[in-house]
Structure 1
């Protein structure tokens, strides 16, 4: 599931993790893929929003 989320982020879409465990796995996958994201941590989960070089 973490790889699926990383693939969506690579395509420019945001991804959401409802649990700390999934968020941790996504973070590891993002590091492996060298993808930059903005993490929006809420009380309900964590959004991973891709960071682009475009302004």
Structure 2
């Protein structure tokens, strides 16, 4: 069985954003964790909320 650490996944997605790449989050919990880290890092991010997840796109 493969166990996924959600905080690690959220940190990896925010690292992608910090490097100028977009990131996608599938679950409500992961979206919440990524948003919290975006807010704490004071990033300017465009959020595209869909029915199946959320895209986070850095604004430059």
| TM-score, length basis structure 1 | 0.89
Extract structure 1 runs of 4+ deviating beyond 6 A. Answer: none
Match of 1:28 among 31, 36, 47: 36
Gaps of 5+ in 1: none
**1:3 equivalent in alignment to 2:11:** yes
Q: Could you tell me how far apart the structure 2 residues matched to 1:36 and 1:22 are?
A: 19
Look at both structures and tell me which one has the larger radius of gyration over its CA atoms: 2
Gaps of 5+ in 2: 1-8
